[in-house]
Amino acid sequence: MNMSEPIQFSATGLRGELRFDEPMRKHTSWRAGGAAQRVYQAADLDDLQCFLHSLPADEPLIAVGLGSNLLVRDGGVRGTVLLMHGALSVLSLDEDGSIYAQSGVPGAKLARFAAMHGYRGAEFFAGIPGTMGGMLAMNAGCYGGETWQHVTRVQVLTRSGELLERTPQEYEIGYRSVMLRSKGQVENGKWENSDSSLAPHHSLEEFFVGAWLRLEAGDGGVARQEIKSLLSKRIASQPLNLPNAGSVFRNPPGDFAARLIEQCGLKGRKIGGAQVSEKHANFIVNIDGATAADIENLIKEVRAIVAAQTGVDLHPEVKIMGEYAKHE
């Protein structure tokens, strides 16, 4: 792949930073993977709109927050990666009491902001190692809470740079899954041809850039103590000292992926520099310069062994994208 392939812009005056042949290991929590042809870090939402207006219509786009749920293959990714963290970072309290958070706001920052303003219910966000955009895209959750339980409306940006607002009713929201309903389904209030009419947000025909959340008023001090407790629990149970991407597999109905993986004796299993964590079986950690191929192959191996021994097909929660290296 010609990673330095030029791109033609149709607009000037951009205020963000455009980089070429950018190693994605710098932008993913696994610290592995190939390079992106282009990476753009917008100055703010207006600048991001301007950048999208300037792109060719067929330019592939990927939006990345903290890269904490993402594996980029060693051959890298074509097109442009949009870095949201550090770009879309507005976090504010509206007059009606709702909290507005742009897609680059980390979960822990959102939790602390809500507690500081005397709201309860956002504490669980502190346990999610991602940003608002990613949490919206997958309905991220932990410790009994899920993102969309608190969303009243979202702000999305289309591929052409048009800014829109949508309501939760325009999405099919499930466990670690958020799909945009077709226009006809929204108008009719029903689903038809569910397989063909769903458009996942990672296609980037449009993507989340912000959300308004409604939370219950409560004791901010109690909320802050709950955040501390959740963070302590996370530190005690997860291998946070090693590069990881959080939970690798979704929990199957009525069970836990970690329990099944441990039951199959897979804790400590290694391929190259990747290892199934000995601390938490649903984590794969980079212990010694793991390649993306090491990690992906270990994911496949764990999935195959669990399916063979238990009959349960574990579905990855992490997103895997990009091209294989030529030698693979």
Q: At what angle do helices 107-116 and 220-237 cross, to 10 degrees?
A: 150
- Is there a catalytic annotation at residue 269? no
Class of residue 57 by CB neighbours under 10 A (exposed 0-12, middle 13-18, buried 19+)? exposed
182 counts as catalytic? no
Give the pairing type, strands 206-213 and 216-217. unpaired
Residues 6+ apart with CB under 8 A from 80: 7, 36, 37, 38, 39, 40, 55, 59, 60, 61, 62
17-83 and 91-232 in the same fold: no
Q: Which helix (H) or strand (E) holds 262?
A: helix 257-263
CB atoms within 10 A of CB 325: 14
Q: Is 3 exposed, middle or buried (0-12, 13-18, 19+ CB in 10 A)?
A: middle
> Would you state the pLDDT for residue 197?
23
> Tokens 């001090």, residue?
221
Closest CA to 122 of 139, 103, 96, 145: 145
Instruction: List the catalytic residue out of 19, 120, 176, 214.
Output: 176
Closest CA to 55 of 10, 95, 24, 90: 10
Predicted TM-score of the model (pTM) = 0.86
DSSP 265-308: T-TT-EETTEEE-SS-TT-EEE-SS--HHHHHHHHHHHHHHHHH
CATH code, residues 240-321: 3.90.78.10
| pLDDT on residue 191 | 25
User: Beta-carbon neighbour count of residue 309 at 10 Å?
Assistant: 13
Active-site residue, selected from the candidate residues 247, 269, 277, 296: 247
Give the Cβ contact number of residue 190 at 10 Å: 9
| Domain boundaries, given as residue ranges, for the chain | 17-83, 91-232, 240-321
**Local confidence pLDDT in tens for the 328 residues of the chain:** 555 555 555 556 899 999 999 999 999 999 999 999 999 999 999 999 999 998 888 899 999 999 999 999 999 999 999 999 989 999 999 999 999 999 999 999 999 999 999 999 999 999 999 999 999 999 999 988 999 999 999 999 998 899 999 999 999 999 988 999 975 443 333 222 222 222 233 346 899 999 999 999 999 999 999 999 999 999 999 999 999 999 999 999 999 999 999 999 999 999 999 999 999 999 999 999 999 999 999 999 999 999 999 999 999 999 999 999 987 6
pLDDT at 327: 75
The question of whether 19 is a catalytic residue gets the answer no
Contact (Cβ atoms closer than 8 angstroms) between residue 208 and residue 103: yes
Residue 301 backbone dihedrals phi, psi, to 5 degrees: -65, -45
Amino acid at 67: G
Residue 102 zone, left/alpha/beta (φ > 0; ψ -120 to 50; rest): beta
Question: Quick one: fold of 17-83?
Answer: 3.30.43
Q: How far is CA 36 from CA 131, 236, 268, 322, in A?
A: 20, 35, 31, 9
CATH fold label, 91-232? 3.30.465
